[in-house]
A and B are shown apart, each in its own frame.
Chain A
Amino acid sequence: GAVVSQHPSWVICKSGTSVKIECRSLDFQATTMFWYRQFPKQSLMLMATSNEGSKATYEQGVEKDKFLINHASLTLSTLTVTSAHPEDSSFYICSAVGPYNEQFFGPGTRLTVL
Protein backbone atom coordinates (compact mmCIF):
# COMPACT_ATOMS: atom_id res chain seq x y z
CA GLY A 1 0.00 0.00 0.00
CA ALA A 2 0.87 3.66 -0.22
CA VAL A 3 3.38 4.92 2.31
CA VAL A 4 3.61 8.29 3.98
CA SER A 5 6.62 9.17 6.09
CA GLN A 6 7.23 11.91 8.60
CA HIS A 7 10.50 13.32 9.78
CA PRO A 8 11.50 13.61 12.51
CA SER A 9 9.54 11.02 14.46
CA TRP A 10 10.19 12.96 17.64
CA VAL A 11 11.78 16.28 18.51
CA ILE A 12 12.54 18.17 21.68
CA CYS A 13 13.21 21.88 21.46
CA LYS A 14 13.55 24.92 23.65
CA SER A 15 10.79 27.44 24.01
CA GLY A 16 11.05 30.17 21.39
CA THR A 17 12.70 28.09 18.71
CA SER A 18 11.13 26.94 15.45
CA VAL A 19 10.68 23.35 14.41
CA LYS A 20 10.08 21.97 10.92
CA ILE A 21 8.25 18.70 10.36
CA GLU A 22 8.30 16.99 6.97
CA CYS A 23 5.59 14.83 5.46
CA ARG A 24 6.42 12.79 2.36
CA SER A 25 4.38 10.52 0.14
CA LEU A 26 6.92 7.89 -0.83
CA ASP A 27 5.33 6.07 -3.75
CA PHE A 28 2.62 8.35 -5.03
CA GLN A 29 1.99 12.00 -5.77
CA ALA A 30 -0.32 13.91 -3.51
CA THR A 31 -1.77 17.24 -4.50
CA THR A 32 -3.56 17.39 -1.15
CA MET A 33 -2.15 16.71 2.27
CA PHE A 34 -3.60 17.34 5.70
CA TRP A 35 -2.04 18.26 9.03
CA TYR A 36 -3.57 17.15 12.31
CA ARG A 37 -2.57 17.52 15.92
CA GLN A 38 -3.45 15.11 18.65
CA PHE A 39 -3.24 15.79 22.37
CA PRO A 40 -2.73 12.86 24.75
CA LYS A 41 -5.73 10.59 24.91
CA GLN A 42 -7.68 12.80 22.52
CA SER A 43 -8.77 12.67 18.94
CA LEU A 44 -7.15 14.14 15.88
CA MET A 45 -7.95 17.75 15.20
CA LEU A 46 -7.57 18.98 11.65
CA MET A 47 -5.26 21.97 11.54
CA ALA A 48 -4.99 22.72 7.85
CA THR A 49 -5.32 21.47 4.31
CA SER A 50 -2.16 21.69 2.26
CA ASN A 51 -2.48 21.96 -1.52
CA GLU A 52 0.51 21.71 -3.80
CA GLY A 53 1.40 25.03 -5.33
CA SER A 54 -1.06 27.11 -3.35
CA LYS A 55 -1.57 28.49 0.12
CA ALA A 56 -2.77 26.20 2.83
CA THR A 57 -6.30 26.43 4.16
CA TYR A 58 -6.39 26.67 7.94
CA GLU A 59 -9.17 25.54 10.24
CA GLN A 60 -10.83 28.03 12.49
CA GLY A 61 -8.75 28.80 15.53
CA VAL A 62 -5.43 27.69 14.02
CA GLU A 63 -2.87 30.48 13.77
CA LYS A 64 -1.47 30.46 10.26
CA ASP A 65 1.48 32.65 11.24
CA LYS A 66 2.45 30.19 13.92
CA PHE A 67 1.95 26.99 11.96
CA LEU A 68 3.52 27.62 8.56
CA ILE A 69 2.70 25.07 5.89
CA ASN A 70 4.53 24.73 2.61
CA HIS A 71 3.54 22.17 -0.04
CA ALA A 72 6.31 22.81 -2.53
CA SER A 73 6.14 19.54 -4.43
CA LEU A 74 3.72 16.71 -5.10
CA THR A 75 5.46 14.51 -2.56
CA LEU A 76 6.41 16.89 0.24
CA SER A 77 4.58 19.14 2.67
CA THR A 78 6.24 20.79 5.64
CA LEU A 79 4.80 22.16 8.85
CA THR A 80 6.92 24.70 10.72
CA VAL A 81 5.96 25.52 14.27
CA THR A 82 7.37 29.00 14.79
CA SER A 83 8.42 30.31 18.18
CA ALA A 84 7.26 27.12 19.82
CA HIS A 85 5.96 27.16 23.39
CA PRO A 86 5.18 24.32 25.80
CA GLU A 87 1.48 24.45 24.88
CA ASP A 88 2.48 23.50 21.32
CA SER A 89 3.73 20.15 22.57
CA SER A 90 1.64 17.55 20.84
CA PHE A 91 1.59 14.67 18.40
CA TYR A 92 1.44 15.99 14.84
CA ILE A 93 0.15 13.69 12.12
CA CYS A 94 -0.02 14.30 8.40
CA SER A 95 -2.00 12.51 5.75
CA ALA A 96 -1.77 12.46 1.98
CA VAL A 97 -4.57 11.86 -0.48
CA GLY A 98 -3.70 9.06 -2.86
CA PRO A 99 -4.67 8.47 -6.50
CA TYR A 100 -8.02 6.88 -5.55
CA ASN A 101 -8.91 9.61 -3.09
CA GLU A 102 -7.95 7.57 -0.05
CA GLN A 103 -6.10 9.20 2.82
CA PHE A 104 -2.85 7.64 3.95
CA PHE A 105 -1.52 8.70 7.31
CA GLY A 106 2.03 9.28 8.39
CA PRO A 107 3.38 7.74 11.60
CA GLY A 108 3.29 11.05 13.45
CA THR A 109 5.84 13.39 15.03
CA ARG A 110 6.01 13.86 18.78
CA LEU A 111 6.94 17.47 19.59
CA THR A 112 8.01 18.39 23.10
CA VAL A 113 8.75 22.02 23.85
CA LEU A 114 10.68 22.65 27.05
Chain B
Amino acid sequence: AQSVTQLDSQVPVFEEAPVELRCNYSSSVSVYLFWYVQYPNQGLQLLLKYLSGSTLVKGINGFEAEFNKSQTSFHLRKPSVHISDTAEYFCAVSEGGGFKTIFGAGTRLFVKA
Protein backbone atom coordinates (compact mmCIF):
# COMPACT_ATOMS: atom_id res chain seq x y z
CA ALA B 1 0.00 0.00 0.00
CA GLN B 2 1.07 3.53 -0.67
CA SER B 3 1.87 6.04 2.02
CA VAL B 4 3.22 9.55 2.18
CA THR B 5 5.19 11.08 5.04
CA GLN B 6 5.75 14.79 5.37
CA LEU B 7 8.46 15.09 7.94
CA ASP B 8 7.71 18.60 9.14
CA SER B 9 4.31 19.73 10.34
CA GLN B 10 5.37 23.38 10.44
CA VAL B 11 8.20 25.28 8.82
CA PRO B 12 8.75 28.90 9.85
CA VAL B 13 11.10 30.87 7.63
CA PHE B 14 11.99 34.49 7.04
CA GLU B 15 11.03 36.25 3.85
CA GLU B 16 13.56 35.88 1.00
CA ALA B 17 15.18 32.86 2.68
CA PRO B 18 15.30 29.48 0.92
CA VAL B 19 12.99 26.70 2.06
CA GLU B 20 12.74 22.94 1.67
CA LEU B 21 9.64 20.95 2.54
CA ARG B 22 10.36 17.27 2.89
CA CYS B 23 8.31 14.38 1.57
CA ASN B 24 8.97 10.65 1.57
CA TYR B 25 6.74 8.00 0.10
CA SER B 26 6.44 4.26 0.00
CA SER B 27 4.98 2.18 -2.78
CA SER B 28 5.59 -1.19 -4.33
CA VAL B 29 4.96 0.06 -7.86
CA SER B 30 5.86 3.06 -9.94
CA VAL B 31 4.23 6.25 -8.77
CA TYR B 32 3.24 9.71 -9.79
CA LEU B 33 4.13 12.42 -7.27
CA PHE B 34 2.50 15.78 -6.64
CA TRP B 35 2.77 18.87 -4.51
CA TYR B 36 -0.33 20.92 -3.83
CA VAL B 37 -0.81 24.22 -2.00
CA GLN B 38 -3.89 25.11 0.01
CA TYR B 39 -4.71 28.61 1.18
CA PRO B 40 -7.14 29.04 4.10
CA ASN B 41 -10.66 27.86 3.37
CA GLN B 42 -9.82 27.04 -0.21
CA GLY B 43 -9.34 23.95 -2.31
CA LEU B 44 -6.05 22.61 -3.54
CA GLN B 45 -3.92 24.07 -6.28
CA LEU B 46 -1.36 21.96 -8.10
CA LEU B 47 2.19 23.29 -7.72
CA LEU B 48 4.00 20.63 -9.70
CA LYS B 49 4.00 16.96 -10.55
CA TYR B 50 6.39 14.20 -11.46
CA LEU B 51 5.15 11.56 -13.87
CA SER B 52 8.34 10.42 -15.61
CA GLY B 53 11.47 11.77 -17.24
CA SER B 54 13.66 14.42 -15.65
CA THR B 55 13.83 14.04 -11.91
CA LEU B 56 13.94 17.81 -11.37
CA VAL B 57 10.50 19.25 -11.80
CA LYS B 58 9.72 22.94 -11.96
CA GLY B 59 6.35 24.25 -10.97
CA ILE B 60 4.44 27.46 -10.50
CA ASN B 61 5.37 30.31 -8.19
CA GLY B 62 9.09 29.50 -8.37
CA PHE B 63 8.82 26.10 -6.68
CA GLU B 64 10.70 23.01 -7.78
CA ALA B 65 11.01 19.44 -6.54
CA GLU B 66 13.40 16.59 -7.11
CA PHE B 67 12.37 12.98 -7.39
CA ASN B 68 14.89 10.66 -5.76
CA LYS B 69 13.94 7.06 -6.36
CA SER B 70 16.67 5.52 -4.22
CA GLN B 71 15.66 7.62 -1.23
CA THR B 72 11.94 7.53 -2.12
CA SER B 73 11.77 11.26 -1.64
CA PHE B 74 10.20 14.20 -3.42
CA HIS B 75 11.28 17.31 -1.52
CA LEU B 76 9.89 20.71 -2.47
CA ARG B 77 12.19 23.72 -2.64
CA LYS B 78 12.07 27.42 -3.29
CA PRO B 79 15.22 29.59 -3.31
CA SER B 80 13.53 32.72 -1.96
CA VAL B 81 10.11 32.76 -0.30
CA HIS B 82 7.56 35.54 -0.07
CA ILE B 83 4.99 36.37 2.56
CA SER B 84 2.35 35.23 0.09
CA ASP B 85 3.79 31.71 0.15
CA THR B 86 2.36 31.22 3.63
CA ALA B 87 0.00 28.27 3.22
CA GLU B 88 -0.42 24.55 3.77
CA TYR B 89 1.52 22.31 1.41
CA PHE B 90 0.57 18.73 0.68
CA CYS B 91 2.66 16.05 -0.92
CA ALA B 92 0.65 13.35 -2.68
CA VAL B 93 1.23 10.09 -4.51
CA SER B 94 -0.77 7.99 -6.90
CA GLU B 95 0.19 4.68 -8.42
CA GLY B 96 1.25 4.95 -12.05
CA GLY B 97 -1.78 4.72 -14.31
CA GLY B 98 -4.27 5.16 -11.51
CA PHE B 99 -6.18 8.17 -10.25
CA LYS B 100 -6.47 7.35 -6.57
CA THR B 101 -4.31 9.82 -4.69
CA ILE B 102 -2.98 9.55 -1.16
CA PHE B 103 -2.05 12.76 0.63
CA GLY B 104 0.55 13.44 3.27
CA ALA B 105 -0.39 15.14 6.50
CA GLY B 106 0.64 18.53 5.21
CA THR B 107 3.30 21.08 6.12
CA ARG B 108 2.38 24.53 7.25
CA LEU B 109 4.81 27.04 5.73
CA PHE B 110 4.86 30.29 7.64
CA VAL B 111 6.85 33.12 6.10
CA LYS B 112 7.82 35.89 8.47
CA ALA B 113 8.76 39.44 7.54
**B-binding residues in A (CB < 8 A):** 4, 6, 32, 34, 42-46, 49, 91, 93, 95, 97, 101-103, 105-108, 110
Contact = CB atoms under 8 A, between A and B. Distances in A.
Interface string B40-51: 011111100100
Contacts of A34: 99-101
B87 interface: no
A97 B99 contact: yes
Contacts of B41: 91, 108, 110
Contacts of A97: 99
Interface of B: 36, 41-46, 49, 90, 99-106
Contact of B99 (A4, A32, A42, A105): A32
A107 B43 contact: yes
Contacts of A46: 100-102
A43 B90 CA distance: 8
26 contacts: A4-B43, A32-B99, A42-B105, A43-B90, A43-B104, A43-B105, A43-B106, A44-B44, A44-B90, A44-B103, A46-B101, A49-B100, A93-B44, A95-B44, A97-B99, A101-B99, A102-B49, A103-B99, A105-B43, A105-B44, A105-B45, A106-B43, A107-B43, A108-B42, A108-B43, A110-B41
